[in-house]
Amino acid sequence: MTLETQNYFNKEFLTQPFAIKNPIFLEKCIIFVHEHPKIVKISKISLLIIGTSLSGLAFYTSSALAFTAVLSSGILVLSISILALKVLDLISPPVHDMKYHSYIPFDTKEAQLFYKQDVPILKIKTEDPYASGFAIGSLLGKQISEIRDQWSLAIQKLPEFLFLHTTPIHTKVKVLIEEVKKTIPDQYLNEMKGIVAGFNKYRESVNFLFRPSEMSLEELILFHLEPDIRHINHIELNRHLSKAMACTSIVDVDSEDGIVLGRNTDWPTFGVAGKNSLVICRTSAVSKIKTAEITVPGFIGTLAAMNEHGLSVSMNICNGKTTSVSGIPNALFTRYIFELSRTVQEIEANLEKYSSLGAYHLIAADEHEAKAFFIKQDEGFKFKAKLLEKTSTFQAQNPLFITNFRYEDLIPSIKEEDDVNFSVLREQHIRDFYLHAKSILKDKIKITEIVKKALSLPYVNNLLSAHTALFITRKREIRVAFDNAYSAKNQLTKLDREVLF
């Protein structure tokens, strides 16, 4: 990056309308808590000490009544403190410094986990789906358990608040899960079964005082419906998202790097998903194509990924209506057609052959072209994929900005001040930034740098940003950062083709 570019980003950039944001008081508090983890840690320890001390004081009281009162108060304070602090991580996820590693490297017959700088990479050595799943469930059980506990607390136990939604526990949606199970390709169902078996083996090694509950296949299937719950209209689901996740995808053409797909994955991290995120590299059991996916342990669907041919995909949840369970759950569907494809053209062809469960945006880019699709069920419950926009190496002045609610027929009644989720506003800030940066810097800046900076704009990088990635299709390279929130503010780590494939 040139000195002129640095000066622009450090000084002039910050004074432009697209980079100015006045957060409300609640958001300021959330940002403060996120950026000051030491204060939160001290508060946690202090509250636990107070609760424990009160409980201990009970044994020094002279009467039974006083003993009961003090002990009860101590236990109450301790319990409330523990719950409140867990909820605090949901509301304001703590910052995750990637230099603090969540995983211990290992190398087994089925899988190897290692770090490239500070990015954990899991290489699956086996092509057997069940064995692959078992390795993930047993070797990454600790991280799966952390995500599972926080997800269950936020999604299934607490009332709706902020950006979260409520989903029934799997035992209350048996019919829905059985309908969905029939649509899942066998290789993915077997992989899920392997994860369940592996996790349940892992839990046996945990001290009984802290041992997680047994996992079921139905529970894991419900977890994989998170990208679909927003729009499923099913007799067993009576509540859904009040606010949608706010993923952003940007595609442009750089003179050196070729087509670049930039991506913020904006999913609630519950304070743990960001720090436990990783890149999983595997070879498809069906097509034998090598892939690298940015994900969390226990989730086998594809959110954002690249394969050995440079084909890269990302999915954005969007508004829509699903009234019939007649297709593969969205993230699993993305993985299914991605593993069968080598180019954007093949992605488009496979969209004509297979059906997803419901509405979402799919962005696909290779080293020659990029296309964005809107996928939904039509009124006859049939699958339909509509081409939204496209670009190619011959259309370098036509960048793609794909945000969840950007199309007029899909924009719900969302107020503009809901800037985290209001995609029209997010897109406008990205467009304004692009025009301004290019007019000021012209040929003095790489397009790849503009894409990265656009993902970190105040209206784009937000409390939901867990993954930020650049997919450099020509070089077969991924640059990525993880955090529990505001991931685009972090330095990206470069993963080249030798590491990934």
Q: Look up the CATH number of the domain holding residue 365.
A: 3.60.60.10
Residue 223 is assigned to a structural domain of this protein? yes
- Give, in degrees to the nearest 5, the angle at Cα 302 between 320 and 87: 75
Q: What is the pLDDT of residue 314?
A: 96
What pLDDT, on the 0 to 100 scale, is given for residue 120? 98
Phi-psi region of 174 (alpha: psi -120 to 50; beta: other; left: phi over 0): alpha
The residue from 91, 107, 139 where one domain ends is: 91
Residues 225, 250 within the same domain: no
Question: Does residue 131 sit in the same domain as residue 71?
Answer: no
The residue out of 208, 241, 274 marking a domain boundary is 241
SS3 assignment, position 375? strand
Residue 176, pLDDT score: 83
CA dist 450 and 13 (Å) reads: 12
Structure tokens at 40: 């939160």
Indicate the helix (H) or strand (E) that contains 146.
helix 141-151
Evaluate whether residue 102 is within a structural domain. Answer: no
Where the chain has pLDDT below 50, the residues are 162-163, 234-244, 380-381, 408-418
How far is 44 from 34, CA to CA, in rounded Å?
14
CA gap 292, 301 in Å, rounded: 12
Do 413 and 300 lie in a common domain?
Answer: yes
How high is the pLDDT of residue 39? 72
Q: Please report whether residue 267 resides in a domain.
A: yes
Q: How many domains does the chain have?
A: 3
State residue 63's pLDDT score: 60
Q: Tell me if 262 sits within 8 A of 251, measured CB to CB.
A: yes
Q: End-to-end alpha-carbon separation of the chain, Å?
A: 28
What was the pLDDT predicted at 398? 75
- Distance CA(441)–CA(1), nearest Å, equals 11
**Pairing status of strand 278-283 against strand 119-124:** parallel
Residues 60, 174 within the same domain: no
Q: What is the CATH number of the domain that holds 229?
A: 1.10.439.20
Assess whether 363 and 487 both reside in one domain. yes
At 98 the pLDDT is 93
Place of tokens 């209506």: 321
Q: Is residue 13 part of a domain?
A: yes
* Residue 129 sits in the same domain as residue 39: no
Task: Say what the pLDDT of residue 421 is.
Answer: 60
* Cα separation, 134 vs 131, whole angstroms: 5
Q: Is 154 in the same domain as 272?
A: no
Q: Is residue 99 part of a domain?
A: no
Do 283 and 138 have their domain in common?
no
pLDDT of residue 80: 60
Classify residue 118: in a domain, yes or no: no
230 shares its domain with 307: no
* Domain co-membership, 237 together with 265: no
Residue 163 lies in a domain: yes
- Buried/exposed 148-176: b ≥16 CB within 10 Å, e otherwise: bebbbbbbeeeeeebbbbbbbebeebeeb
β 477-482/312-317 pair status: unpaired
- Predicted confidence at residue 333, as pLDDT, reads 94
Instruction: Mark whether 235 and 367 lie in a shared domain.
Output: no
Q: Quote the domain boundaries for residue 176.
A: 124-241
Whether residue 115 lies inside any domain: the answer is: no
Residues 473 and 422 in one domain: yes
- Out of 211, 241, 271, pick the residue that ends a domain: 241
Q: What pLDDT is recorded for position 417?
A: 46
